Structure 1
Amino acid sequence: MGSVSGSDFHQELLFAFGGGDRNVTIAVLDGPVDRTHDCFVGAPLTPLHTAVMQRSGDDAPSSAQSTHLASLIFGQPCRSVEGIAPMCRGLIAPIFGDSRPVCAQADLADAITRALDHGAQILLIGAGSFEQPWYPSPALARAIARCNIRNAMIVASAGRYGCSTLLRRCGTLNLLPVTALDGVGQPLGGNDGNLSDIGIAVPGSSVSGAALEGRVVQRSHPNVAAALVTGAAALLLGVQRNAGLAPNPAAVAEAVRMTATPQTSPSGSALPPAWTGRKNLEAAAAYLTGRYEGAYASGLFEAWYRARAGATRSDHAAFRPRA
């Protein structure tokens, strides 16, 4: 695979399909977000009063990590950080707080439940420390059962960085564990665990996002990759709506996996299947709708899609919602 930085990947996906649909709702489960940052001016964000926030109080400090993640999704056009799905509705559901940096299963279950109550279709669970042992509590099992009934999709960092193992043991149906690739296409920090547990890999190095006190910083982490995939998944839900289809997060999760490109390292060892650019997103849209989106597609993706879905051509093209 050629060299692709996380920053380049982020820029390629910006404003695809108009930047998303206001009827698509994404929940970010991490820490409190600094919504005073200029990139969030005009963003449809709603903070949820989770159990963590009830303990921390309304004056709880914002999290640098969660602010960065939220900006990659909801950063508004022409601001210091532009997000992948700025037109989508966002829910901020803190699960980490300064008073308790380890996320308890009860707090995770509470945040998931509140996000579902507010219409979340995609939930991004940030990386951090999660309460062990790694078997689900009854409360978390009930919350995941509600996710399954609602057909909600959960995106989380794969391996030691996230809670994907715990969520899998809960029986999560629409779980997409994400890992990050560095600038030369290798897993960030080296291979971690069983590749079969990784749903997709995307470039996640040196991605610029919002920081505290109005700053912009670059971060490299599987968490960053998960946020980029979350934004892309939200765009695909909007594609379904625009095509007259019912929004189906489960189908979106499948489309993301199916349009990832198999890859191997120079030594011949297996690597996680990856998305590396806009063409993957276009192929996923075609997979979902049965229409071939040719504006950014290459001969390789045309051959891939026609072999699987018998697509017909369409003149639909993505556009940037700006003057």
Structure 2
Amino acid sequence: MGKLSIIPGLSELWRLTKGDDRVGVAVVDGRVGAGHPAFAGSGLASVEGVWPSDGATGAKAAHGTSVAGVLFGQHDGPVPGVAPGCRKVSVPAFSDRWARTSQLDLARGIELALDEGVHVINISGGQLASAEEAEDPLARAVRRCKESNVLVVAAAGNDGCFCDHVPAALPSVLAVGALDDEGRPLPSSNWGPGNTRQGILAPGQNIPVPVPGGGVALQTGTSLAAPVVSGVAALLLSLQLRDGREPDPRAIGELLMTTADPCDLGDADACARFLNGKLNITKAVTTVTSNETDVSVAHSQAEPVSPIPETATGRPEQAVPSCDCGCDQAPAAAATVPTAQAALQAPTDPAAAPATTPAAGSAAVTLSSPAPAPVPSPAPAPPPAPTPPPQATSTVTTSSDDPARVPAQRLAYAQGVLGYDFATEARRDSFKQLMAPVEVGGAHVPANPYDPNHMVAHLRENPSESSALIWTLNLDLTPIYAIEPNGGYTVGVYERLVDFLSRQLECDDGANFVDRVSIPGKLPGRTVKLFSGQEVPVVEVELKRGLYGWSVTSLANAVAEAGAAGAKKGNPSADTLRAAVAEFLTRVYYDLRNFGATSRDRALNFAATNAVQARDTLAQALSQGLALQDIDVEKSPFARPDSDCWDVKLRFFDPENSRRAKRVYRFTVDVKDVMPVTVGDIRSWPES
């Protein structure tokens, strides 16, 4: 391809717009080397404070820099990108500090990008798996994007097989395969059933990208085709804004599908790899700019005719692991389904030899093409003064290659189950040797450090040993944070953690049983490696305030009893209120479970913890014969100076009369501080 400008229709689109800074695009990838001349004056921002700032020198950082260059490269620099005028956000979810990136980390990156108010999220990475095999946090993060009308564009993968790649294969994601310079699918580009259902092809061979050290190289693969599509989508959204319309990202994604050119190769085998067609920029621009056609019409059509279906239809062929051998035939046998800690790889073109071979344990293969050497970058023209993005928050900072840069402080208010980890065999064995024997059936046997009962007994006898454990917060069985007490009240926090661990072991109908804990704290941007090899972010807990443990049953009972004590005639009974509160708490934890790192999720989790507020709401609704339909969180118009207020909105319906108006109850939570707080009174209104 050589230059993006020769992609049919792109130069004409650039004459209409090079992007609007009101349109946000996020690159969820490796850390971007913002010091490269391609990004001079671009205003590129980076989401910080969750993962370590490990610099922009490794293989994954080089990959992130390449992908961001295709999207954001300034036109007065050495690598002109597709959408240089849009708001640019880097989410460094892939790190060179660890060899593999989990689906959990990718889900965390998507949610952080979503929290920054972007319209398009580009993911040039993934894992070989069908949509049904995607882990719940990743599938949930993608669904949140759909609900928020954010377009997710993901690379189809470069394994050269009839196989799917998540998140590309997930419903509502626009999957992108790669074309060669002749307009044919690259042999390495995947063409699984999920990709075929919701994917298109875009140029992906010999794409100019920025490389570490300030140079330029030509690289090949679906990782480069995806940002081409993401950039075109961002430019089309910019055209909608130019014409005075609201940007509609998902409708633009559907439009790119419907305007794609079908296979014209006359070869059944080749056309099988063609997905839904190849990108046609001219047709898409004509549709968006036509006075007779409004692209938003496509978005409002009935779901069955949507080019990007809402649910997967039919189970794709069993996913197989990457052969990393350049194979281009369908696999002969299926492989084991990836586990929760299975790796996500940056998609690459196995047929293209990398410019450099990464060290053992680093990211998978890089995307550079086999032949050309890096082209020296010319000295850039003096950059224009960057325009600060209008939607940027205090949690986004300008990218830098300086690893010593101090990121903005992020907060967390998360719910889950308490656990512990040893990190190493040596630490585990040290506990085993120090723990006193336990009596079993009249005989004394060595204590088992993996038995929480034995561990609780040991920690109560030796409180200082609590600091030698890695305390974890888990969603189901998956650790999402390492809890690290910090500050002057460290001892009290450790005592509270030991108490929670003990109470999790009691009978589930006991008064002291705990099946859930809430953890308020700060994310310092560090990670801890667990015994399994998984790396999880650290959450620092400085105070016991807000460190709660409860069970759904006991909390529902307490709320119901408090509500019944002040009940008026016609109010629901204690049993009815108890059941409603239990349903609310369970839905927050299971249906809406989250990382508690975004403002939205912190408000939701606090609403579940502070169930008294929900009790009043539920009591009012139940007294009118209504039932809880859904729970939502929106940015609140009710705010005070220097606050971060969100409204938790509970919507109720009449289960016996579908024609009756729904009722909405709304209360406000300010999450500006480590410990959220409710603001004002409950507000309520009917809704048709």
Are 2:246 and 1:250 equivalent residues in the alignment?
A: no
RMSD value, Cα? 3.0
Matches of 1:190 and 1:160 in 2, distance apart?
A: 5
- Alignment deviations for residues 232-271 of structure 1 (CA, whole Å, 9 cap, x no partner): 0000001111111111001100111111111132434423
Instruction: Report the structure number with the largest CA radius of gyration.
Output: 2
Are 2:42 and 1:30 equivalent residues in the alignment?
A: no
Q: Trace 1:1-323 onto structure 2 (pairs within 5 A).
A: 7=4, 9-10=6-7, 13-14=10-11, 15-49=14-48, 51=50, 53-54=51-52, 57-59=53-55, 61=57, 63-127=61-125, 135-159=133-157, 165-167=165-167, 172-173=171-172, 175-189=173-187, 192=190, 193-194=192-193, 196-197=196-197, 199-269=199-269, 270=271, 271-275=274-278, 280-291=280-291
Does the aligned pair in 2 maintain the 1:155–1:226 contact within 8 Å? yes
Deviates more, 1:158-167 or 1:142-151: 158-167
User: Offset of 1:108 from its aligned partner?
Assistant: 1.0
Letter in 1 for 2:32: V
User: Which residue is 1:310 aligned to?
Assistant: none
Secondary structure of the corresponding residue to residue 151 of structure 1: coil
Does the aligned pair in 1 maintain the 2:189–2:221 contact within 8 Å? no
Cα–Cα, structure 1 residues 273 and 168, in superposed 2: closer, same or farther, change >3 Å?
closer
Q: Percent identity?
A: 32
- Alignment deviations for residues 102-134 of structure 1 (CA, whole Å, 9 cap, x no partner): 221221111111111111110000125579997
Does the aligned pair in 2 maintain the 1:5–1:204 contact within 8 Å? no
Matches of 1:232 and 1:8 in 2, distance apart?
A: 12
Does the aligned pair in 2 maintain the 1:28–1:92 contact within 8 Å? yes
- Alignment deviations for residues 152-205 of structure 1 (CA, whole Å, 9 cap, x no partner): 1111111456997433675x42x1100111122221125633462451111211
Letter in 1 for 2:182: V
Does the aligned pair in 1 maintain the 2:17–2:239 contact within 8 Å? no
User: Offset of 1:60 from its aligned partner?
Assistant: 5.6
User: Offset of 1:96 from its aligned partner?
Assistant: 1.3
Deviates more, 1:133-142 or 1:35-44: 133-142
Secondary structure of the corresponding residue to residue 74 of structure 2: coil
User: Offset of 1:12 from its aligned partner?
Assistant: 5.4
Letter in 2 for 1:243: D
Deviates more, 1:138-147 or 1:176-185: 138-147
TM-score by length of 1: 0.77
Matches of 2:178 and 2:245 in 1, distance apart?
A: 31
- Alignment deviations for residues 262-290 of structure 1 (CA, whole Å, 9 cap, x no partner): 113243442334446xxx32321232343
Does the aligned pair in 1 maintain the 2:196–2:276 contact within 8 Å? no
Letter in 2 for 1:272: L
Cα–Cα, structure 1 residues 176 and 5, in superposed 2: closer, same or farther, change >3 Å?
farther
Matches of 1:189 and 1:214 in 2, distance apart?
A: 30
Matches of 2:117 and 2:209 in 1, distance apart?
A: 26
Cα–Cα, structure 1 residues 262 and 75, in superposed 2: closer, same or farther, change >3 Å?
same
Matches of 2:2 and 2:291 in 1, distance apart?
A: 29
Secondary structure of the corresponding residue to residue 286 of structure 1: helix
User: Which residue is 1:312 aligned to?
Assistant: none
User: Which residue is 1:313 aligned to?
Assistant: none
Matches of 2:54 and 2:97 in 1, distance apart?
A: 13
Cα–Cα, structure 1 residues 42 and 49, in superposed 2: closer, same or farther, change >3 Å?
same
Does the aligned pair in 2 maintain the 1:5–1:183 contact within 8 Å? no
Matches of 2:158 and 2:18 in 1, distance apart?
A: 31
Letter in 2 for 1:189: P
Letter in 1 for 2:275: P
- Counting matched residue pairs gives 283
Structure (1/2) with the larger helix percentage: 1
RCO comparison, higher one (Cα < 8 Å, 6+) = 1
User: Offset of 1:148 from its aligned partner?
Assistant: 1.6
Does the aligned pair in 1 maintain the 2:127–2:165 contact within 8 Å? no
Matches of 2:200 and 2:168 in 1, distance apart?
A: 15
Letter in 1 for 2:67: L
Cα–Cα, structure 1 residues 222 and 272, in superposed 2: closer, same or farther, change >3 Å?
same
Matches of 2:128 and 2:98 in 1, distance apart?
A: 11
User: Offset of 1:44 from its aligned partner?
Assistant: 2.1
Matches of 2:290 and 2:106 in 1, distance apart?
A: 37
User: Which residue is 1:307 aligned to?
Assistant: none
Letter in 1 for 2:42: A
Matches of 1:240 and 1:31 in 2, distance apart?
A: 30
Does the aligned pair in 1 maintain the 2:30–2:64 contact within 8 Å? yes
Does the aligned pair in 2 maintain the 1:6–1:183 contact within 8 Å? no
Letter in 2 for 1:237: L
Matches of 2:70 and 2:188 in 1, distance apart?
A: 24
Does the aligned pair in 2 maintain the 1:127–1:156 contact within 8 Å? yes
- Alignment deviations for residues 209-253 of structure 1 (CA, whole Å, 9 cap, x no partner): 111100000001111111111110000001111111111001100
Does the aligned pair in 2 maintain the 1:158–1:198 contact within 8 Å? no
User: Which residue is 2:679 aligned to?
Assistant: none
Does the aligned pair in 1 maintain the 2:155–2:222 contact within 8 Å? yes
Matches of 1:129 and 1:102 in 2, distance apart?
A: 11
User: Offset of 1:21 from its aligned partner?
Assistant: 0.5
User: Offset of 1:61 from its aligned partner?
Assistant: 3.1
Matches of 1:67 and 1:292 in 2, distance apart?
A: 40
Does the aligned pair in 2 maintain the 1:25–1:122 contact within 8 Å? yes
Letter in 2 for 1:45: L
User: Offset of 1:36 from its aligned partner?
Assistant: 0.4
Letter in 2 for 1:112: I
Cα–Cα, structure 1 residues 136 and 268, in superposed 2: closer, same or farther, change >3 Å?
closer
- Alignment deviations for residues 4-39 of structure 1 (CA, whole Å, 9 cap, x no partner): 777554585253422011100000011001100111
Cα–Cα, structure 1 residues 242 and 66, in superposed 2: closer, same or farther, change >3 Å?
same
Matches of 1:220 and 1:127 in 2, distance apart?
A: 14
5+ long unaligned stretches in structure 1: 294-321
Does the aligned pair in 2 maintain the 1:104–1:130 contact within 8 Å? no
Cα–Cα, structure 1 residues 209 and 183, in superposed 2: closer, same or farther, change >3 Å?
same
Cα–Cα, structure 1 residues 130 and 89, in superposed 2: closer, same or farther, change >3 Å?
farther
